[in-house]
Amino acid sequence: MTAVLTWQQLRDVKYANLQDAADGWGEVSNRADAARDQVSNEMTNTLTESQKGESARAALRRLKQLDRNFEYLSTECGLIRTTLNSLAFELSGSQARLKGALEEAANLRFTVHPDGSVSYPAGGENLAAGTPLPGGSTTGSPVGTPYGPTLGAASGAPPLTRPNPNHAKAQDIADRILNAVNEARETDRRFSETLAKLKAAPGLTVDTKTWTDAATDAAAVRGVADDYLRDGIPQDKSPAERGAWWAGLTEEQRQEYLAVYPDVIGNLDGIPAETRDTANRDNLQLLIGKLEGQNSEKAQTQLAGLKSIDQQLRADPADGVPPMYLLGIGDQGNGRAIVSFGNPDTSRNVSAYVPGLGTALDESFATNDVKRARDTAVGAAEYDESSAAIVWLGYDAPQLPAEKLADNAGVMFDHDAKAGARAYNEFMAGISATNQNADPHITAIGHSYGSFTVGQAAQRNGGIPGADDIVLLGSPGTGADSAKDLGVGKGHVYVGAAENDPVTMMPTKDESSALGAGVVGGGSVGGSLGLVGGPFGGLAGAAVGGVLGGIAGYSSSEEESQIWFGTDPAHADFGATRFKVDDGPRPFVGGEGPTPAHSNYFNPEKDPESADNIAKIVAGRDDLTIQEHR
C-alpha cells in the first residue's frame, strides 16, 4: 500500500495473507528458540560433563555464542511476526468500517464513485412546486471537519439546510469511507516504518551493540502493537486471574506476548515461573542493550548489576546449586531484580527474602544478596531437596547518603516499606497461585530494613499471602508490638539478632533525636540498616557517633524493649522464637566497618549456625538451636 491507497484497494485487501506471513516468521522464531534450547540444555551440558581441557573450553565458548545468536534470531523474528499480526489486526478494523459504509450505500441505492464521493437520488419534496428535491453528490470530510461541498442541488443554501433527506445519509457514508481509507494509510505508514527498523547487521556476531539495536526494535514494535496485544494483559487483575488468562491463551499468543512484552510478562505475578524466567532472560538482554547506550551514573550502575546477573545465569551449573530462575528484572526506580534458586512452582518449600536499606540493582546486589538466596537454597536442600529460595528486590528501598535520611527519616522509611509491602504481598500471592503442591510451605524473610518491609506486609489486611513462617534478621523492628500481630502465629515468627549488630539495638526515634548527635546522629544510625559496610566510606565518623550513641540510648531507655520501629523482635516482650546466631565482630574492630555482624546471618562460612537455622526454617523443620531473648 502507498499514500494513494484507494477505497477499492482497502476493500480488496486479504489481510489473511499478512497473518500467513506472520506465521512463517513465527515458525522461524520458534525453531530458533528450540535450537537455542538444544544448544544450552543438551549440547553444552553434555560437553561440560564429558569433556575437559582447552579444546572443550573453546567449544563451550562457541556454543555459548551460538546460544546468543539463536536467542537474538528468535527475538527479532518474533518481533516481525507480531508486527505483521498487528498490521493485519488494524487493517481488518479499517476494512470492516469501509465495508459497512459500502453495504449501507448499496442498500440505499447510492453510488460510490472511484474517488470516494457518493451520489444520492432525488428525495423529499419541494413544497412550492410539489416535486421531489433533486439528488446530488457529496465528498467525505475528515473527522472533526465540516461537511464537504454538495453538488447537483438547485439551491445555494448551506449543505446542512438542504431538505433532501438523502444528502445527510450520503454525507455520512462518504465521511466513513474517507476516514477508513485515511486510517488505513496512517496504519500503513506506521507499520512500514517499524518493519524497516527490523534489520540485523551483516555477520554472525551478536554483541552488545546488536542487543542495543534489538532494544530499539522492541520499543518500536511495542509502539504499534498496543491495541493488538497490550490492552489484553490483565494487569489490574489478581495473580490467580492472570494465571488463568495465561493458561487460556493459544501457544502463538503466548509467543507473541513473550516476544513483544517480555518486560511485562516477566514481571507479572501469577505467571508461571518458567515463563517468567524465559521472558526475563530476553528482557535482560534488551535492558543491557538499552543501558549500554546511556552514560548516566544510574544507567552504568544498573548495567554492572545486570551484567553480573547475566554472567551467573550463563555460568556452568555448580554441583549442588539449584537451577537459577529470573522471576523479575527492570530498570525502573532503583532497579528491580527477583532471583530464585530452585523452581518456586514445583518446590514444596519456598522462601522469599527482602533485602534492606541501600539495596539497589547494582553489582553489590548481584554479588551479595543473590548469594544469600543461593546459600539459603543450598542449605535448605540438605534437609529437603524440594526447596527454592528467592531474593526479592521488587521495591525501592531507601538509599544513601545518610544525610538525606536525616531530613525526615521516619516518614521516608514508613513510605518505602509500605509501598514495598504492597508489592511483596502481590508477589507472594503469585507464588501461592502458581505453586503446584497441595500444601506448600512458604517462608517470608526480611533482613534489616527489609524486615520492617516484611513486618508491614504481614500487618496488611489478610497478612502475607500463603506465608507459614516469618524470619526477621538484623531487624530494627517491624512496626508491630508483638509477634502475634504478624498473622502467622507467634510460634511461627523467628528472629536472628547478633549481639554485636548495632542495627538490632537502635534507639527509638525520640531517643535518637535527644542524643548528643541529634538528628544527624539518628540519620547516621539509620544509614547502617542493611549495609554490607562498603557504602559507609567517608561517613564512618558520623556513623560511629550515631551507632554508638544509639546503643547508649537503648541501654539507658526506660522501655528497653523499644527500638527504632517498635518492639525489638529479639526481646521477650515481642514473643518470637529467637534462634542462635554468632555474636559477630564488634563494630570497627579489625577494620571491618561499623556493622560487620549485620551481614553474616546467611553466610555459612562466617555464621554457620545462623545459616543452618535459616535453612531449617525454610525446609519446615523445628529442630533449631535457640538463644535467650533480650
Binning pLDDT at 50, 70 and 90, where does residue 542 land? very low
Average pLDDT over residues 287-306: 92
Determine the length of the chain. 630
| 109-113, 396-400, 489-493: segment of lowest average pLDDT | 396-400
Average pLDDT over residues 341-352: 98
Q: 211-232: per-residue pLDDT in tens?
A: 777 778 888 887 787 777 888 8
Confidence (pLDDT) at 511: 58
C-alpha 353/C-alpha 425 separation (Å) is 12
Q: Do 596 and 502 touch, CB atoms closer than 8 A?
A: no
Average pLDDT over residues 282-308: 92
- Residue pointed to by grid coordinates 506472520: 22
Average pLDDT over residues 350-365: 94
Predicted confidence (pLDDT) at residue 407 exceeds the cutoff of 60: no
Confidence (pLDDT) at 527: 43
Binning pLDDT at 50, 70 and 90, where does residue 590 land? low
Q: Do 490 and 533 touch, CB atoms closer than 8 A?
A: no
Q: Do 476 and 565 touch, CB atoms closer than 8 A?
A: yes
Confidence (pLDDT) at 38: 82
510 Cβ contact list (under 8 Å, min separation 6): none
Element (H, E) at 182: helix 165-197
- The overall average pLDDT reported for the chain is 83
Confidence (pLDDT) at 208: 73
Of 431, 389, 425, 390, the residue nearest 240 (C-alpha): 431
Which carries the bigger pLDDT value, residue 563 or residue 239? 239
| 342-356, 404-418, 587-601: segment of lowest average pLDDT | 404-418
Which carries the bigger pLDDT value, residue 212 or residue 405? 212
Q: Specify the DSSP class assigned to residue 316.
A: P
Going from the C-alpha of 232 to that of each of 142, 229, 249, 261, 548, the distances in angstroms are 30, 6, 11, 12, 55
Predicted confidence (pLDDT) at residue 512 exceeds the cutoff of 60: no
CB atoms within 10 A of CB 522: 30
C-alpha 479/C-alpha 289 separation (Å) is 41
Q: Specify the DSSP class assigned to residue 136.
A: E
Of 550, 532, 542, 529, the residue nearest 600 (C-alpha): 532
Q: 442-473: per-residue pLDDT in tens?
A: 999 999 999 999 999 999 999 999 999 999 99
Average pLDDT over residues 510-531: 45
Binning pLDDT at 50, 70 and 90, where does residue 510 land? low
Average pLDDT over residues 294-306: 94
Helix, strand, coil in percent for the chain, rounding step 5: 55, 10, 35
Dihedral of CA 512/518/520/524: which sign? negative
C-alpha of 251 from chain center: 22
Binning pLDDT at 50, 70 and 90, where does residue 538 land? very low
CB atoms within 10 A of CB 621: 14
Query: Phi, psi (5° rounding) for residue 126?
Result: -80, 110
Q: How far apart are the first and last CA of the chain?
A: 78
C-alpha 538/C-alpha 535 separation (Å) is 8
Confidence (pLDDT) at 256: 87
Q: Specify the DSSP class assigned to residue 579.
A: B
| 184-193, 360-369, 443-452, 600-609: segment of lowest average pLDDT | 184-193
Highest mean pLDDT among 67-71, 170-174, 187-191: 170-174
Q: 66-120: per-residue pLDDT in tens?
A: 877 888 888 888 888 888 888 888 888 999 999 999 999 999 999 999 999 999 9
Confidence (pLDDT) at 40: 72
Q: 110-168: per-residue pLDDT in tens?
A: 999 999 999 999 887 776 666 788 899 999 987 655 444 444 443 344 444 457 889 99
CB atoms within 10 A of CB 38: 13
Confidence (pLDDT) at 78: 85
C-alpha 448/C-alpha 473 separation (Å) is 6
C-alpha 37/C-alpha 31 separation (Å) is 10
- Residue pointed to by grid coordinates 526477621: 472
Confidence (pLDDT) at 581: 97
On whether the pTM is more than 0.75, the answer is yes
Confidence (pLDDT) at 3: 55
Predicted confidence (pLDDT) at residue 526 exceeds the cutoff of 80: no
Binning pLDDT at 50, 70 and 90, where does residue 539 land? very low
Average pLDDT over residues 343-366: 95
Predicted confidence (pLDDT) at residue 552 exceeds the cutoff of 60: no
Predicted confidence (pLDDT) at residue 311 exceeds the cutoff of 60: yes
Binning pLDDT at 50, 70 and 90, where does residue 35 land? confident
Binning pLDDT at 50, 70 and 90, where does residue 483 land? very high
Confidence (pLDDT) at 517: 43
Predicted confidence (pLDDT) at residue 493 exceeds the cutoff of 80: yes
